[in-house]
Amino acid sequence: MAQARIRAPSALDRLEWRTEPGLLDYPAAVADMTVRAEAIAAGEAAERIWLVEHPPLYTAGTSALPRDLLAARFPVFETGRGGQYTYHGPGQRVVYLNLDLAARGRDVRRFVQALEQWIIAALDDLGVPAWTAEGRIGVWTSGPDGAEAKIAAIGVRVRKWVTLHGLAINVAPDLSHYDGIIPCGISAFGVTSLAALGATAGISALDAALAHHAAAMLAAVGPEAGGA
How many CA atoms within 13 Å lie on the side-chain side of 210?
25
What's the pLDDT band for 181 if we cut at 50, 70, 90?
Answer: very high
Residues 99/222, Cβ–Cβ less than 8 Å = no
Across the chain, where does the E strand assignment appear? Answer: 16-19, 48-52, 57-60, 76-78, 85-88, 92-98, 131-133, 136-142, 148-159, 162-170, 190-191
- In the predicted structure, residue 7 carries a pLDDT above the cut 50: no
- What does the pLDDT read at residue 225? 59
What's the pLDDT band for 76 if we cut at 50, 70, 90?
Answer: very high
State the chain's mean pLDDT as an integer: 92
* Separation CA 68–CA 209 (nearest Å): 33
- What does the pLDDT read at residue 23? 98
**pLDDT above 70: percentage of residues in the chain:** 93
Question: In terms of DSSP H, where are the helices of 46-172?
Answer: 108-125
- What does the pLDDT read at residue 12? 74
Exposure string of 144-181, with b = 16+ CB inside 10 Å and e = fewer, is eeeebbbbbbbbbbbeebbbbbbbbbbbbbebebbebb
What's the pLDDT band for 11 if we cut at 50, 70, 90?
Answer: low
Residues 118/51, Cβ–Cβ less than 8 Å = no
pLDDT tens column, 105-148 = 999 999 999 999 999 999 999 999 999 999 888 999 999 999 99
SS3 state of residue 191: strand
- In the predicted structure, residue 58 carries a pLDDT above the cut 70: yes
- What does the pLDDT read at residue 9? 44
What's the pLDDT band for 184 if we cut at 50, 70, 90?
Answer: confident
Which residues does the annotation mark as catalytic?
184
What's the pLDDT band for 45 if we cut at 50, 70, 90?
Answer: very high
- What does the pLDDT read at residue 162? 98
| CATH class of the region 2-221 | alpha beta
- In the predicted structure, residue 6 carries a pLDDT above the cut 50: no
